[in-house]
Structure 1
Amino acid sequence: MTSQKSTASAKAPQRQRGRERVASLLDAAAACFVDKGYEAATMTEIAARAGAAIGSLYQFFPTKEALAHALMTQYTQSLQQHLQQLAAQSGDWNDDQLGTQLIRLLVAFRRRHPAFAVLAESLASLPAVRGLAIRQHLREGLQELLGQRITHLSSSELHAAAVVVLQLMKAAVALSAEVGLVGRKSALEQLERALQLYLASLAKR
């Protein structure tokens, strides 16, 4: 039986000082998760890294899972905003420009937020994190973007296309992150070209 503590959610701060403290705690948690992994990181280490008392950490985040959930919520919202901004800017882009920007979107986000990849890979089994349905949100955003450009495809075809596009974007992230990969730049350029050609083929269907 799951304890009440393990399912407790984060407490939202009401004042600016509290919001700044929460931001500091989340930054410290992200750094600890990157350095040690989710399982090995402890609440004590996170509090120390933030220069906060352990009681202050527990005040806002009763469990490590609550911390992870807060971070993933933040990352999901940020990714959605970036995708919406890209969609708003892409009206006059050709397929080559769109393919380039889609590839760079996820790669750049992963570089800015390395804890995102750590948590996405480590916490897939946690109900609170799994419930965020990050992939679903991204697919829906991509489907909407593609639907604005390619109006003759059915909803099911657009959904399938969004799945394919997201897989190519994730492949670019994997290539970018692979340690010691020889020919990384060339491989990323070829993957980018593959996405560009795929987008062009969708427009011609």
Structure 2
Amino acid sequence: MPEARAGAAATPAQSSKDNKGDQGTRSPDAGSGAAARPRRRQARGEARIAQLLEAAAGVFCSSGYNGASTNAIAREAGVSPGTLYQFFPNKEAIAIELGEQLMHRWRETYGAAFVVSHIELPLDRMLDTVLDPLIAFNCENPAFAVLTHGSEIPGVITREHDILHASMLTRTEQLLGAYLPELPADQVARTAAMAFVLFKAGLDLVMEHEGEEREAYIRELKSVMYRYLEPLVCDTPDGVTPARIDTP
């Protein structure tokens, strides 16, 4: 993915300039201090970038991608537009950087959720183990949905999301195939695709609500998923031991 952080790219050049200025008749102690200053500047720059990205996430959620502006993001971050432009040339660069960070964390989240060891669990607990971290991530990062939906989103984010979507569907199919080994491959593929669509639709409803109502929709989503998959767990050929389930 192309680098979006203008400030991050400028730091090494600035450090090189500073290092040249520090060359000459300096004591070892002075040289040591000069080496430490660029590291401190870089740490401050990373902190400022994190501050701007957090502000951008809030603005994207409240105004949408089209409605957001660099001025609004700077205002939300409590900095001047000039300070923002030291790190990002435009709104698109901010969105790409934020989207990249969120998708990296999303990969880690679903990677930990879709593990084959979960097939040892009864169906209801397997669903809890898989769905809970996915739902929690989306609830804690509402900007993720904003930056992965809509025709106006930068193309690089859309392409990355499409790759992520295909990867998640594959992982869903692999997990269900391991959990329901007696099913033909084509039925596993259809079941995975349907379960994936059910989850996405239910997640949209979850994200539209807060508090107790959100929790109620989470329970509804899990109930729908359970009732869709439970007959497949029980409907096993003769001589095959069905996976153990605990009815919610």
Indicate the TM-score class for this superposition, using the shorter chain for normalisation: 0.7 to 0.9
2:54 is matched with: 27
Q: Which residue identity lines up with residue 208 of structure 2 in the other structure? A: E
Query: What amino acid does structure 2 have at the position aligned with 1:113?
Result: N
1:42 to 1:109, Cα distance in 2 relative to 1, 3 A: same
Task: Supply the distance in 2 between the matched residues of 1:115 and 1:173 (Cα, whole angstroms).
Answer: 14
Alpha-carbon distance, 1:84 to partner: 1.9
1:21 and 1:152 map into 2 onto residues whose CA distance is: 54
Say if 2:119 and 2:126, in contact at 8 Å, map to a contact too. Answer: no
What 5-or-longer segments of structure 2 have no aligned partner? 12-41, 237-248
Residue 52 and residue 84 in structure 1: after superposition, are their counterparts in 2 closer, same or farther (change >3 A)?
same
Task: Return the offset for 1:25.
Answer: 1.2
Alignment of 1:110 onto 2:138:
yes
1:55-66 equivalences in 2 (<5 Å)? 55-66=82-93
Contact residue 142 and residue 162 of structure 1 kept, 8 A: yes
More displaced, 21-30 or 64-73?
Answer: 64-73
Q: Does residue 11 in structure 1 map to residue 38 in structure 2?
A: no
Change (3 A) 1:10 1:159: farther
Amino acid at match of 2:132: R
1:156 deviation in Å?
4.9
Q: How many Å separate the matches in 1 of 2:67 and 2:203? A: 24
For 1:46-195, what aligned pairs fall within 5 Å after superposition?
Answer: 46-88=73-115, 90-123=118-151, 126-132=154-160, 133=162, 134-153=164-183, 156-178=186-208, 188-195=218-225
SS at match of 1:69: helix
Using the size of structure 2 for normalisation, the TM-score is 0.65
Question: Displacement of 1:32 after TM fit?
Answer: 0.8
Change (3 A) 1:57 1:154: farther
Matches of 2:48 and 2:214, distance apart in 1: 39
* Contact 2:169/2:192, CA 8 A, preserved across alignment: yes
Superposition RMSD in Å:
3.1
Say which is worse superposed, 189-198 or 107-116, in terms of deviation: 189-198
Give the secondary structure class of the aligned counterpart of 2:68. Answer: coil
Asked if structure 2 preserves the Cα contact closer than 8 Å seen for 1:139 and 1:159, the reply is: no
Compare relative contact order (CA 8 Å, sep 6+) and give the higher one, 1 or 2.
1
Counterpart residue identity of residue 62, structure 2: D
Q: How many residues align?
A: 197
Structure 1 residue 131: Cα displacement: 0.6
| Alpha-carbon distance between aligned partners in 1 of 2:182 and 2:46, rounded to the nearest angstrom | 46
Query: 1:91-149: CA deviations, max 9, x gaps?
Result: 43211112234443333222211112222333566422211114223223323333443
> Any conservation in 2 of the 1:10–1:66 contact (CA below 8 Å)?
yes
Unpaired runs of 5+ residues, structure 1, are 1-7
- Quote the offset at 1:10 in angstroms: 0.3
**CA distance, structure 2, for counterparts of residue 154 and residue 23 of structure 1:** 48
Moved over 6 A (4+): none
Q: Which moved more, 1:53-62 or 1:72-81?
A: 53-62
Instruction: Check conservation: 2:113, 2:131, Cα contact below 8 A.
Output: no
Larger of the two Rg values belongs to structure: 2
Aligned to 2:240: none
From the superposition, tell whether residues 151 and 63 of structure 1 become closer, same or farther in structure 2 (CA, over 3 Å).
farther
